[in-house]
Structure 1
């Protein structure tokens, strides 16, 4: 139809080109000491900007770009098809892509990377209408704060420049017809519904099902993003719904603790922090994984609290003891409970019914479980070994070790609170004397009648 249309996705499907466009490496933070207590917030804000695509994220984004390219070619296959899509849009059944994973694993950030990897808007002029129309690569809507599917569909129309206040549609069917027509007119190649679990708060899965099916019926490739909690509810729907909504899952798991993706991410966090880590990087990465279960949101949270403990101790570089203190702090208590439940779930092989929201409804891949369990077993063996060594110390050696720990020297023992001293055992004379005092107190001053 037009050279602009034919070359729209040219150069956007190369894997290395995708990696270069979506990778974000922020500048290291400067002197945090001058921010005083706010230094932890400055560090956290800079860490949130990091985005290093994992192999899963790169493959997912590449696949979605390919689907968008195919839909784009279908819309603009010829002038007749384009005109028909505007004035008489077809109703096509479309199975949405379900991107799911644990909260904090990086789903929404991956969606942001996908949107940035799509071609930017361009202007199209054609004999069908006067002037030009802006072609958009995507429609995006978040379910946070939404109570109906109509609000989400209106968000789609706003993305194409339509004024929400002037959009008046009596029924959802009319609104869907308008979405189909406008989507074809603007060449929208993909649609994203983010944070769908929020729309299920206090609602049954029926409303979410209606919203997803209506959005999928617009005709373009649709991606909906959700935590495991919503997917468990959708599993209880009738087969005609689950066959449509759960037929194309993409499960985003935390990085393997031994993978290069995880080591690269921790190394980038250390670089962005201004190299404010006073520990072996391999040991630091392993301890960070055990304390966060590999969830990027928890990594940023724990590093923030670790720097707070580091600053309060009068230091400028984070040590392993700061990770231990931050993990046991009241600010991280809820996250620590989540991490421990995930570790129990990995060890028990998915038998914790009380924490079904932490278990993947589609099943955890077998190749992911051994790395996580191995990390837990390694830490357990290390703790047992340290307890054996500590129990064999003489009193003089134990006091010397406590002095070394207070001086900040690396040691195998994790600092812990001192136990309360045991009271001395009472002698036989003490027991007789105390019993006599007790009898004098309870003796009646008058004789009984």
Structure 2
């Protein structure tokens, strides 16, 4: 085959080149003080959503998937004879799909979008068999949201989105998909949002769709949350062996890692002065309030900006993060964060909130840092509460003066307590009694009965 085919995936697996290609650092949001607080908070959130700094997991995952696609492409174009035979007589090959799973909002969709950026763009291919050229496509991408079944997904690949097949069955569509995939050099199939396959359908329908997609031939990735994985784990062993033998679990960043610190630093940069908190304090407080879930971090910073504008300020302080965490808009998310922290501390495997619990057994080293952070945070809070409760009124007042900071100043001041009354002596009590008796009017003399 020609040299362009051989160099199709060249340089796509280098981690540093991947980082350079997929990193997104948006421009700062600009001044927001003259904009309505809610509109300004929405503008800040939109810029924060655009940030994408791939962590170590995402870089390794993208490199691995591109490598798998490259190997498949080399097999497909090993020779012109092999290539044409697979076009006219596509072999029946069923692959074990890669299951990319993790908590909602952890960044799975952003990782898939980054992967699609790295994969080579369409290119023209010519050989002696064709009149003209054929457009080679590196991957097929589909979202399972709202799809009725595997037949509709195959129709989208064969006929294009928005068109439906009027004849034929799934078997015929599958053969045509194999032929098209081999002809167009498709080296990877990506199916996203599988948890939205007609919400309410049983696991058997989802299993049928995934197995149909895996039967096309190229390496396959499907993106799912923990809930769908738990449904698949209840299937028969032959289905579990096909669909869950290659899991890739995306976990929150290590709270002490450079990945998390770089993300928080980027949030401060793009806020353009709207966030004025030290990087160390913000990284710790943001992780404590979001468990490292970036979607929740964006929501919390958005709500914190609303709080700061309500307080008459134009920049977010540390106290605004705490107020946003306790706000009604964040209440459902805060309950999930607290549940995740309890799971990390107690290592529970049963109970409620199974959608927040990883269905796969994780190595100890993968969760030790998160557990360490949660335990240290809990211990610090307990120590601070015990210390504060042991202070006298004068000591507490002195501590407030010693720890005077902008964050403390921004908190609403408590009303001053009334000074306690001195303990009365016996003379004071006697004098008060006589004064009270003098104030009581003398009762009238009762009349004699007639």
TM-score range normalised by the length of the shorter chain: 0.7 to 0.9
- Residue equivalent to 2:121: 120
- Is 1:8–2:5 an aligned residue pair? no
Detail structure 1 runs of 4+ shifted over 6 Å in the superposition.
Answer: 399-405, 412-418
User: What is the match of residue 284 of structure 2?
Assistant: 286
Match of 1:65 in 2: 66
Describe the superposition over 1:61-113 as per-residue Cα deviations: whole angstroms up to 9, x where unpaired: 00000000011111111111111111110001211001011111101110000
**SS, match of residue 98 in structure 1:** strand
Partner SS for 1:174: helix
Contact 1:390 1:413 (C-alpha < 8 Å) held by counterparts: no
Provide the residue aligned with 2:406 in structure 1. Answer: 409
Of stretches 383-392 and 203-212 in structure 1, the one that deviates more from structure 2 is: 383-392
The aligned runs of 1:424-439 (5 Å cut-off) are: none
- Does the C-alpha gap of structure 1 residues 365 and 416 become closer, same or farther in structure 2, counting only changes over 3 Å? farther
Q: Distance in 2 between matches of 1:286 and 1:87?
A: 59
Question: Partners of 2:411 and 2:363 in 1: how far apart?
Answer: 34
How far apart, CA to CA, are the structure 2 residues paired with 1:121 and 1:303?
A: 39
1:176-202 deviations in Å (ceiling 9; x for gaps): 011101111111110101011111621
Contact 1:200 1:230 in 2 (8 A): no
Give the equivalent residue in structure 1 for 2:263.
265
Which consecutive unaligned segments of at least 5 residues does structure 2 have?
419-450
Report if the CA contact (8 A) 2:344-2:374 is conserved: no
For residue 344 of structure 1, report the CA deviation from its aligned partner: 1.0
Is this contact kept in 1: 2:152–2:164, CA < 8 A?
no
Cα deviation, residue 309, structure 1: 0.6
Residues 30 and 313 of structure 1, relative CA distance in 2, 3 Å threshold: same
**Which position in structure 2 is the counterpart of 1:198?**
196
Over residues 10-33 of structure 1, what are the superposed CA-to-partner deviations in whole Å (9 max), with x where a residue is unaligned? 222222111111111111110011
Moved more, 176-185 or 357-366: 357-366
Mapped contact 1:154–1:164 kept (Cα < 8 A): no
> Is 197-206 or 374-383 further displaced after alignment?
374-383
Q: Name the structure 1 match of 2:345.
A: 347
Distance in 2 between residues matched to 1:409 and 1:130, nearest whole Å: 74
- Would the alpha carbon gap of residues 410 and 163 (structure 1) be closer, same or farther in structure 2, given more than 3 Å must change? closer
Larger radius of gyration: 2
Q: Secondary structure at the match of 2:191?
A: strand
User: Per-residue CA shift, 1:223-270, capped at 9, x if unaligned?
Assistant: 000001000110111111101101111110000111111111111111
Please report how far the alpha carbon of residue 314 of structure 1 lies from its aligned counterpart in structure 2 after TM superposition: 1.6
Which residue of 386, 389, 406 corresponds with 1:388?
A: 386
Output the CA distance in 2 between the equivalents of 1:273 and 1:320.
15
CA contact (8 A) 2:156 2:164 kept: no
Pick closer, same or farther for the CA change 1:131–1:96 going to 2, 3 Å: same
Instruction: Work out the CA distance in 2 between the residues paired with 1:235 and 1:391.
Output: 49
Equivalent residue number for residue 95 of structure 1: 96
Kindly report the root-mean-square deviation, in angstroms, between the aligned alpha carbons of the 2 structures: 2.5
Contact 1:257-1:289 within 8 A present in 2 as well: yes
Match of 2:253 among 252, 255, 266: 255
CA spacing shift, 1:91–1:116, aligned 2, 3 Å: same
Q: How many residues align?
A: 416
- Structure 2 equivalent of residue 310 of structure 1: 308
Task: Report how far residue 399 of structure 1 moved.
Answer: 6.2
1:323 aligns with 2:321: yes
- Asked if the contact 2:92/2:215 (under 8 Å) is kept, the reply is yes
Give the SS at the match of 2:145. Answer: coil
**Residue-by-residue CA offset, 1:311-362 (whole Å, 9 max, x unaligned):** 1112122111001000000000010011011111111112342122211111
- 1:112-261 aligned at under 5 Å gives the runs 112-158=113-159, 162=160, 164-165=162-163, 167-199=165-197, 201-261=199-259
| Counterpart-to-counterpart distance in 2, 1:417 and 1:368 | 44
What corresponds to 2:358 in structure 1? 360
Change over 3 Å in CA distance of 1:157–1:404 after alignment to 2:
farther
Distance 1:45 1:168 in 2: 42
- Report the counterpart of residue 421 of structure 2 in structure 1: none
Conserved? CA contact 2:12–2:63, under 8 Å: no
Residue in 2 that maps onto 1:40:
41
Q: Measure, in 2, the Cα distance between the counterparts of 1:46 and 1:308.
A: 16
How far apart in 1 are the matches of 2:99 and 2:392?
59
Q: Say if 1:136 and 1:187, in contact at 8 Å, map to a contact too.
A: yes
The answer to whether the Cα contact below 8 Å between 1:266 and 1:285 also exists between their aligned partners in 2 is yes
Secondary structure in 2 matching 1:134: strand
Aligned-partner Cα distance in 2 for 1:337–1:27: 33
Structure 1 residue 402: Cα displacement: 7.4
Note if contact 1:386-1:413 (Cα within 8 Å) is conserved in structure 2: no
Q: 1:236 to 1:408 in 2, by over 3 A?
A: same
Partner SS for 2:365:
coil
Structure 2 equivalent of residue 442 of structure 1: none
Contact 2:156 2:163 (C-alpha < 8 Å) held by counterparts: no
TM-score, with structure 1 as normaliser: 0.87
Counterpart Cα distance in 2 of 1:107 and 1:224: 11
Asked if residue 29 in structure 1 is aligned to residue 26 in structure 2, the reply is no
Q: Rate the CA distance shift 1:166–1:127 in 2: closer, same or farther, 3 A.
A: farther
